Structures are given as structure tokens and as C-alpha cells.
Amino acid sequence: MNRLQRPSRRDVLLGTLLLAVLALVAWINLPVVGRVFDRQADRVAALPAASPFRVGQRVLVLSPHPDDETLCCAGTIQQAQAAGAQVFIAWITAGDGFEFDAVLTQRVLDPSPQDMRSLGNLRVQEARRAVAVLGVSPGRTFMLGYPDGGLFRLFTTNYEEAYTAPHTGASAVYVQHALTPGAPYTGLALETDLRRVLDRVRPDVVLAPAPQDFHADHHTLSFIAMRLMSARQQEDRLRFWVVHGGLEWPVPKGLHPNLPLTLPPLAARLPWDRVDLTATQEQRKLEAVNTYQTQTRVLGRFMRAFVRQNELLSPGPLPEQGQAPGRGTTP
């Protein structure tokens, strides 16, 4: 643009838009925003505390991607183990669909399918290290290795016919340490793997994403978990969590260990129970988050915003109607 020319309407519009975006980003990230949510904090304080875990209980965390188990439940996992329960983690995908992540970790501008598979294997390693920080040994983890971003397709168009993941080019499980290496990317194979995990773990409590979670992999896994647990007549063993809760939740972004984790806007009406974390448990959660270096480079402020005074678990997948059964209890 010639400097002497007046800015065009398009430039003015773009400038205004840019300012609006910057203002929004600043608003979302300012710690002072926390005060706006005082009312939210009061709501959290009024929630019932989740009942403690018991010796000998078996707890299974269903995690769509490496890092979800830590973001939702790192404090809960620590408390379960401190109470003498055994904790198992099942990752459904290796998180191999995040191209921008591969750009940074593989140092290439246009990641190839092989770069994306390398990212998948890197995230498998990170996941095992992260849960080791929380006290879960690799022997109690299951990497299923289905396609990141593809779970909805697996349960719709690709229940029986293998899906080809656009980022990795894979149509079968390729990651290291997978539960069933070479399993086709179908809904049927994924359900078969999950049934194997349930048969091996025989969980008393299953921590699964809530159906309100915005991410398609998360809410698809929620429906699968409900279906499998209902078939066993054990749906009352499910406890639900949210990671993608809408409206930039959790706000403010970044590390604020002295703030509560407020209710996720998309699932604010679930019958939430509060899990209060000690300072030591928060610190351990932060260490586990920091283990995910491929993720924290891009999403660090989002991820560290989950290191809060509490976590949230709902005994039911739907908003409360009257008195919800099982409120505030673990089986």
C-alpha cells in the first residue's frame, strides 16, 4: 500500500478486527478475570465433596488423547492410589493428528505422514512418563492407538470398514506398545480392545469424558463408555469429567494454583462433585503436565490452567433432575 493513500475500508476493518481479537485474548488471559468468576467459585465451594476411594478399588481412566488423564484427573489419580486403590489408564489415541505440534517437534513446515507417526510415538512415550510421575506404572497402562480426530468416523461410517487417518496415512494401529498392534481403524476393533481392557481391569470406577465435552473424540468416547458399561449393567460405576468445556474454559489461562476450577460452561448443570487437591498434589499434577513437552509448547497456558485447587467429577452424564442417584458417592 502506498503510504500517502488513505487506508482502505478493508484495512480499517481488518485493523478493527485485529484489535477486537487482541482485546479478547487479553480479557481471557488477565488473572483479574478470576474476580469476575467469584460467583462461579462460590458455586464450586458449595458442591459436595466426592467420597474418598477405598483400599483395593480398581479405577480405570479412559483418556481420548495423551494428556487428558492428567488434565482431568491427576489429583484424583493420586488420591485413589494414596487410599490403596489401583489406577489403570487407557489411552484411545496417541494424539497423532495435531499438525502444528509436528511442525514444532519435527522441525518441518509441512509434516509428512511419517513425521505425524513419529509424533504419535513421541506422545506415547510422554504419556507413560507423565503417569509415572503420578505413580502409575507402565504395566497398568494401555495404549490403544486409534486415530486422533477419527473416533466419530469409527463409530459412524467406519464401524466395520477401516478408516484411513488423513495425517498419518495409517489405517491400522502402528504405535509402539499398542494393546493390539495392527488392529484396523474400525469402531468394531476399538470396542473389542476396550472390552479387553475392561475384562482385564474389572474396574469399580471408570473415569470417562462427559457427553457435553466439546471435542468430538471426547464425546464419542463418552458414548462408547456408556454403551459398554451399560452392557455390563455397570453404568453406575462411571464418573464423568470435561476438558473442553466451552467459552475458553478454564479461565483465566495459565498457572493459577490458588484458584478453584470452576464449572465448565457446556456442562455447568451436571451434578458435579468436587475433588479437593492438596498443594503437593497440585505440584505433582503440574509436573505431569510439564512432561507433555510436545503439547505444552503450543497449549501450555491451556494445560496449566487445569492445575487448580480442585477437580470436578460428575456421577451422571446428564443435568440433575431432582435427586440424582449416587450423588457424592463412589461405588
With respect to Zn ion, which residue has the nearer C-beta, 65 or 237? 65
Report the C-alpha gap between 165 and 148 in whole angstroms: 8
* Helix 68-82 / helix 279-291 crossing angle, nearest 10 deg: 140
Does a cis peptide bond (omega within 30 degrees of 0) precede residue 250?
A: yes
Closest contact distance (angstroms) between CB of 236 and Zn ion is: 25
Residue carrying the nine cell digits 470398514: 161
Stretch that binds Zn ion, among 59-67, 138-146, 149-157, 174-182 (CB under 5 A): 59-67
With respect to Zn ion, which residue has the nearer C-beta, 186 or 295? 295
Report the C-alpha gap between 77 and 80 in whole angstroms: 5
Residue carrying the nine cell digits 470452576: 262
With respect to Zn ion, which residue has the nearer C-beta, 64 or 250? 64
Closest contact distance (angstroms) between CB of 46 and Zn ion is: 29
With respect to Zn ion, which residue has the nearer C-beta, 64 or 245? 64
Subset of residues 65 to 94 that bind Zn ion, contact rule: CB under 5 A: 65, 68
Stretch that binds Zn ion, among 47-55, 56-64, 257-265, 272-280 (CB under 5 A): 56-64
With respect to Zn ion, which residue has the nearer C-beta, 65 or 167? 65
Terminal alpha carbon distance of the chain: 68
Closest contact distance (angstroms) between CB of 73 and Zn ion is: 12
C-alpha dist (Å) from residue 111 to 96, 103, 169, 270, 308 = 11, 6, 12, 40, 35
Q: Does 64 bind Zn ion (CB under 5 A)?
A: yes
Closest contact distance (angstroms) between CB of 14 and Zn ion is: 33
Q: Does 101 bind Zn ion (CB under 5 A)?
A: no
Report the C-alpha gap between 130 and 54 in whole angstroms: 24
Q: Does 311 bind Zn ion (CB under 5 A)?
A: no
C-alpha dist (Å) from residue 29 to 20, 26, 50 = 14, 5, 30
With respect to Zn ion, which residue has the nearer C-beta, 68 or 101? 68
User: Which stretches of the chain bind Zn ion, using CB under 5 A?
Assistant: 64-65, 68
